[in-house]
Structures are given as C-alpha cells and as structure tokens.
Structure 1
C-alpha cells in the first residue's frame, strides 16, 4: 500500500488527447523526466494507484502528453481526467540537481531555536540547525508572486503564510520530512 507521506503531488491529469488513450498532464515538477521512474501515482477516487508510463512528450514547460500502459481508448483516458498525480519522494531524492519545491509539501515547518551570539560564546556551541519548535504542516507553496510563500496549517487549524528564503532555511531533513527555518520574530503572531 502506498503511504501519502512517501509521495508528493506533481500535477493533475487533464482531458484525453486523441483516441488512443493519451491524456494531457499538467505538471508543476518535471521530476518524472529527470529520474528513471517507470510509473506515476494517481489518486483515483481516493485510492493511490501506480500507473506505468508507456511514453510521453512535452507540449510545453507545464504540460506533457502522457500514454499509460493499458489505457488504450479515449473512454479509458477520460476516466483519469482530474486525477491528482504524485511522485515517490524516495525516487525524487535520487534525481540529480536541485530538489523541487513541490517536495516540501507535507513537510513539518519548524521554527529554529535561536541562540544569541553571547549565549553561543558562553557555552562554546553554535545554534543547532536541526532542532526547534514545530509550527505546522506545509500544505502548498505559492510561487505566484516574486516572493515564495509557504502555506502552513497549524495543529489548531490556523492558516499561515510564511515567506521562504534561502537565508532563512537552516536545515532540510528529507528523511524526517522537516523544513527548519529561522522565522522572523513576530511573524507567527500575525492573523
């Protein structure tokens, strides 16, 4: 059985293309092309199902025409319309180059513990980049503006928008699914 923690969303299936079972695939992350993955995982009526890729070709930077094994008619392809598409986190980590921001969805955002420079000198240690206070779960990443924003849901259901910057990130724990950041003081207190 496929665990939702072991995958992350990379796109959605659009409408059928042609009559031989091909579909349009609108994607946010082209990791399926950068790795040697044989399959994608589709959410079909709430069930995560692997679909093996027969072939695909890019239509543009955000859309591909995808042919899955055993989907050979327009009617079969139509049943996949609107299905969310996921990719295994483990395979994504094997991909060369930089990780995709999409991989951070589902991670726990952690506010790094702050140690003042005086405290660091006094005890002879630097701040630990792997510890801190959990803030909530990253539900989405908003890249529609010049500044990236993390959409975070706190344990009590509160929705937060947290600016994301390389300067604020102290650690990404891929195995523990944690993003540790030094969140600017007062930001978590805003409504």
Structure 2
C-alpha cells in the first residue's frame, strides 16, 4: 500500500502491558469509528506494513488500546513505539456540504464570488496556526486562509470550491 493512498490515523504512543499491548493516539474527532479495525498499516522504515489486530478498545478519549497478532512482548512493542498508523483512503467517512478532507480538494478550481476563477488548489498548508489554501494562478501562488466563513460552496462533481474572500486579499497577489 502506498502512503499516498492512505490517511494518517494516529501514532503508537506508549506501551500498555507487558504482553505487548500498545496505546495509539488517534488523530480524529470520532475515535469510536476505529475501535473495531481488523488491521492497520504501520509505517516502518518509510514503508507501510500491514499489522493485524487481535483486539482493540477505546482507552480514555483519543487512545485506542491495541493488541496486535504478532506482538506478544514488551520488546516487540518497543520496536513499533512512535510509529505512525495509516488506513486506506476508502475507509474515510464521507463528508457532506462544505466539509472536506484536505487531500480531496487538491486540483479543484477556486471560484471567488467577486473575481471569478482565481486558480486551482495546489496544496493545503497546515503547518502553521491557520491552514492555508495554496492556489496556483498561472504560476502565481495565492494564499488564502482556510476559514469556514470564506467557504460558500463545494461542488465535488465539478471539482470547484466557491470562496467569498475579503476585498483586497486576492488582489494583493494578482496586481
């Protein structure tokens, strides 16, 4: 499985028992959706390796207590400590309305309510405090904060997202 075909689920955070159980921190608002998984992909040496789950249960708010089939000791658990967990994109719950996953809007045309088509979404930069749409307009990069109030419509069928940006924001890049 290629990493590009998967989404980040979380990270193995700590050992839970001397029998090799681990606690995985889940990067989701709905951890209950993932408590009955049959398997996950664990990133080991930059490769995704399938690990089958013998049993799992929610632990506190955002942790999943996992017993993997092939991990029976603390030492074996140590080998995967800190590893990231992934699942296939097909397992993401479907979003509706103007909600979207960052990866699904890459390549969408951006329509500004005042200026019309202002380019295509090249990426979403979420490395700072505020995620940003990185929009490519014929080689010019336009950065727009990803703010719910700016998003007017999302048309998955036609691959467009309509934004209502403050006057002057986009103009800074196009002048």
What is the TM-score normalised by the length of structure 1? Answer: 0.65
Unaligned residue ranges in structure 1 (runs of 5+):
117-126
Query: Could you tell me whether the CA contact under 8 Å between 2:107 and 2:122 is conserved in 1?
Result: yes
1:104 matches 2:87: no
SS at match of 2:71: coil
* Cα separation, 1, equivalents of 2:23 and 2:49: 18
What is the RMSD computed on CA atoms of the aligned residues? 3.8
Helix, strand or coil at the partner of 1:20: coil
Q: How many residues align?
A: 164
Shift of 1:167: 5.6
Note the residue ranges of structure 2 that are not aligned, 5 or more in a row.
Answer: none
CA deviation string 1:95-153 (max 9, x = no partner):
xx879x8x72434174522466xxxxxxxxxx8xxx862232225387x7xxxx42556
Say if 2:165 is the partner of 1:168: no
1:76 and 2:76 aligned? yes
Residue 59 (structure 1) aligns with: 59
d(CA) in 2 for partners of 1:164, 1:139: 13
2:33 counterpart of 1:50: no
CA distance in 2 between partners of 1:15 and 1:31 (Å): 21
- Give distance in 1, aligned partners of 2:96 and 2:65: 25
Deviation at 1:78, TM superposition (A): 0.8
Q: Give the structure-2-normalised TM-score.
A: 0.70
Give the conservation status (yes or no) of the 8 Å contact 1:104–1:138. Answer: no
> Secondary structure, in 3 states, of the residue corresponding to 2:80?
coil
2:10–2:27 CA contact under 8 A, matched in 1: yes
